[in-house]
Chain A
Amino acid sequence: MTITYVLMQNLKRNPLRAALTATAFSLPMAVFVAAISLVVLLANVAASAAKELRLGVHQKTSLTNLLPEGMRRKIEALDPQKEHLHAVCGMRWFGGRVPDTQNTLTSLAADADTFPIVYSDVQMTEEETARWLSEKTACVVGFATAEQYGWKPGDRLTLESTVPPYLTLEFKIVKVMQNAERSSVFYFRRDYLEDSLKAAGFDDPRCNIFWIKCKTAEGLRTLQQRIDAAFANSPEETKSEDENAFAANFTQAAGNLPGLMQAMAVVVVFIIALVAGNTMMMSFRERIRELAVFKAIGFQSSRIFAIVLAESTMLALIGALAGVIPASLFLLLVPIRNLRMGPISSFEVSPLAIVVSIAIALLVGLVAGLWPAYQAHRLRTVDALRKVA
């Protein structure tokens, strides 16, 4: 028999109470695993985006206001020696959906010549690039969307636009993108869209945004200032943002979600600490004479302190594992990528999230056990025994 065995047996003393307290740990820890994994994913996406050094230029007031196609030449002219600028790729929202379905795909028409350069992280091979450049109906599609519809390179497909003039276009897949941040995005050639619009009587070669691939981070900042200054006080006043800031605009549109999550997490952790602390205090009070006997037979006060604290921590650990393991299995098995929620489609349970969740539970267990452990430490054996008589 070991002290650890005694601790484990102690947890069985009041199984219902122990189970309820463990559940108070398990449920928030299950949510934490998912939430922290999401934060890790978004941080990775942000780091990846920052590495790509892309600058997005759109109309200052709204992304839905179109900019003239000629702006690409004007932007290129701001850095004729290509000191900072690598390439410019104009894009236009298509908003296509597979016929007879409701979900609109993130589908964008991109300049054919510069797309493989500006989006070099898509990692198109020479053969794929050649097909993209030679076939007007070529498209590249994210892996989550491809999986959802069972598409593979070489497949032909049709999309109906959800924006006027509601074109229906046919495409041929030349690449399935494996990037997490582009898992549910669909790109095709803008010249194909322009020709189709012209054929439908809408000669409108404008863009929603121009993505600029920069050579250095410093160059990105220089170009950002230079572009916005060049178009200031013009009908096409621009707002230039790096890719992270651009993505953050969408996130912040729904309010300060990370801040809200953080505040909720703190409240939840505090509540668990109170629940666990109350349980440990009740357990201590019930065993006050038993602990006094432990002291009488030779257990040092420091050891009693450690026993009570270890019991609290062990309860927290069991609760955390009971939440983290099923949550991780659930998140592994559930087809999250089918949700097609941008980068979330590539959601994976982060080992860091598991470690952090368990660490939080252990910390809360320790904090919750501190006061009862201190009370047990300072317990006067004779006083506790006298209560028996």
Chain B
Amino acid sequence: MSTAEIELRNVRKVYYKERLEIPVLEGLDLDVATGDFVVLMGPSGSGKSTLLHLIGGLDTPTSGAVRVGDANLERMNERQLTAWRSRNVGFIFQMYHLVPVLTAAQNVELPLLLFRMSSAERRQRVITALNVVGLADRMDHRPNQLSGGQEQRVAIARAIVTDPRLILADEPTGDLDAKTSEEILGLLNVLNTEFEKTIIMVTHDPRAAAHGKRRLHLDKGALYSDERATVRAVAAASS
């Protein structure tokens, strides 16, 4: 058995549209080590988001195996996958998707409502997560009182508040300006290096991709390049 944290073997994913078979991933194999920061790149429709969804247990493969830690995701039903996600995965989306009627702290607290814990413990976790993303002083602000970058920081705090081992980010800087993007990517680097989170990020942006330790290029459902970044490049991106 592989020692990789994430292991995909011969994964095939097909969608059907009006009985028409649309293959998205074709016989894909992938290993991701614990603590890695993998960037998925490729043109639109290449299967990046589908791969991310399969690793995050949001979708199941048409055939093949997806193992994350001890969990064989392809064997789980929807209920089991949902419960697994709540404990093991933090999601970051391009459009943040915060609840507009809740404050930053309440948005971060949302995933904790699924766990049995005292309100004091929840509060402490929320404060810690907001401290990590540097927004402790904005905890009572609503999303419409925050900038795009601050909203994405809140979304990151929401992703890490349950202390998941894996963080999946789908175009996390796609809606941000260059300076704010750098701040968010720096934050992801901190989560990866200091908090030892395994991160898989989808992006179109080569500058954003430079922040990862490993870059995977997908095209037409197949992996056609796998580059390991130099230590210097990663260090430069982190600084």
Interface centre among B79, B113, B158 (most CB of A within 10 A): B113
Q: How far is the CB of B121 from chain A (nearest CB, A)?
A: 13
In the complex, the answer to whether B97 meets A290 with C-beta atoms within 8 Å is yes
B231 to chain A, nearest CB (A): 32
Indicate whether B100 reaches chain A with its CB closer than 8 angstroms. yes
A385 touches B93 (CB 8 A): yes
Is B86's CB within 8 Å of the partner chain A?
Answer: yes
Contacts of A388 in B (CB 8 A): 93-95, 97
Residue in A290, A294, A381, A389 whose CB lies within 8 Å of B58: A381
Q: Do A6 and B99 have beta carbons less than 8 Å apart?
A: yes
Distance between Cα atoms of A127 and B69 in the complex (Å): 95
Evaluate contact between B93 and A293: CB separation under 8 angstroms. Answer: yes
Q: Is A200 an interface residue (CB 8 A)?
A: no
Q: Is A148 interfacial (CB-CB < 8 Å)?
A: no
Q: Which residues of the other chain, A, contact B171 by a CB distance below 8 angstroms? A: 389
Q: Give the interface SS of chain A, mostly helix, strand, loop or mixed.
A: helix
Inter-subunit contact B83/A3 (CB<8 Å): no
Chain B contacts of A290 at CB under 8 A? 97, 99
Q: Give CA–CA (A326, B230) in the complex, Å.
A: 73
Q: B226 at the A/B interface (Cβ < 8 Å)?
A: no
Known: A296-B91, A297-B91, A382-B58. A389 touches B79 (CB 8 A): no
Q: Which of B56, B59, B91, B101 contacts A293 (CB 8 A)?
A: B91
Q: Chain B residues near A297 (CB, 8 Å)?
A: 85-86, 91, 110-111, 114, 158
**Which among B50, B97, B113 is the interface contact of A2 at CB below 8 angstroms?**
B113
Shortest distance between the CB of B168 and any CB in chain A (Å): 9
* B residues near A386, Cβ cutoff 8 Å: 49
Contact B101 A296 (CB under 8 A): no
B63 contacts the other chain (Cβ, under 8 Å)?
A: no
A293 cross-chain contacts in B, Cβ below 8 A: 91, 93, 97
A389 contacts B106, C-beta separation under 8 Å: no
Q: Which of A10, A294, A297 has the most CB of B within 10 A?
A: A297
Contact of B111 among A3, A13, A298, A385 (CB under 8 A): A298
A-B contact count (CB 8 A): 76
The B contact surface, by secondary structure, is: helix
Query: Known interface pairs A2-B113, A388-B94, A389-B49. Does A300 touch B83 (Cβ–Cβ under 8 Å)?
Result: yes
Any B CB within 8 A of the CB of A9? yes
In the complex, A54 has a CB within 8 A of chain B: no
Residues of A18-51 whose CB lies within 8 A of B: none
Given A298-B114, A381-B58, do A389 and B101 touch, yes or no (CB 8 Å)? no
**CB-nearest residue of chain A relative to B105?**
A1
Which of the listed residues A293, A298, A386 has the most CB atoms from chain B within 10 Å of its own CB? A298
Q: How far is the CA of A289 from the CA of B83 in the complex (A)?
A: 19
Indicate if the CB atoms of A382 and B97 lie closer than 8 Å.
no
CA distance A297 to B100 in the complex (A): 17
Known contacts A1-B109, A300-B79, A385 near B99 by CB under 8 Å: no
A389's contact among B78, B94, B122, by CB below 8 Å, is which?
A: B94
* B100: A residues at CB distance < 8 A: 13
Determine how close the nearest CB of chain A comes to the CB of B143; give it in whole angstroms.
Answer: 11
A9 to B171 alpha-carbon distance, docked (Å): 29
Name the distance in Å between B118's Cβ and chain A's nearest Cβ.
13
CB atoms of B59 and A389 under 8 A apart: no
- Encoded as 1 (CB less than 8 Å from any B CB) or 0, chain A from 372 to 389 comes to 000000000110011011
A26 to B225, CA, bound (A): 64
Task: Indicate if A92 sits at the interface (CB-CB under 8 A).
Answer: no
Which residue of chain A is the closest to B113 with respect to CB atoms?
A: A3
B94 and A299 contact, CB distance less than 8 A: no
Q: Which 8 A-B pairs have the closest CB atoms?
A: A298-B86, A9-B101, A293-B97, A297-B111, A382-B59, A382-B53, A296-B91, A298-B114
Q: Which residues of B are interface residues toward A (Cβ below 8 A)?
A: 49-50, 53, 56, 58-59, 78-79, 82-83, 85-87, 91, 93-95, 97, 99-102, 106, 109-111, 113-114, 119, 122, 158, 170-171
**Contact sample, A vs B, 9 pairs, CB 8 Å cutoff:** A296-B56, A296-B58, A297-B85, A298-B83, A300-B82, A385-B53, A389-B94, A389-B170, A389-B171
